[in-house]
Amino acid sequence: MQVLGQQVRQARIVKGWTAAQLASAAGVSARTVSSIETGSPAVSIGNVLNVAVIAGVALYGVTDQAELTRMRLRGEERLALLPVRVRAAGTKGDDDGLDF
């Protein structure tokens, strides 16, 4: 998280934005932006990634927002191909009664 936070800070500075301006654009508080930039693990990953994209950090080596969207959609399509859990939660199987 610290590396990504540093990238967010660098991107923000390159754009000439204050933390408050980036926060406003991302819909979070300036304190949240500060926490992201310092690598605080208390910030939700959704906020971190959203702020990073708005700041212009290339996530997954992709700088084009449309390409990042296409990658997300391909990932969702792949996840949809995975089988649904067959055994219902809470039922006993071949685990000798062990609950993990």
Three-class SS state of 80: helix
**pLDDT tens, residue by residue, 36-62:** 999 999 999 999 999 999 999 988 888
- The full DSSP string for 14-31 is HHT--HHHHHHHHTS-HH
Three-class SS state of 62: strand
pLDDT by position in tens, the chain (length 100): 899 999 999 999 999 999 999 999 999 999 999 999 999 999 999 999 999 999 999 888 887 878 888 988 998 888 888 887 744 445 555 555 544 4
8-state DSSP, 47? H
Question: What is the pTM (predicted TM-score) of this model?
Answer: 0.68
Asked if residue 50 lies in contact with residue 23, where contact means CB atoms within 8 angstroms, the answer is no
Using alpha carbons, select from 98, 96, 4 the residue that is nearest to residue 51: 4
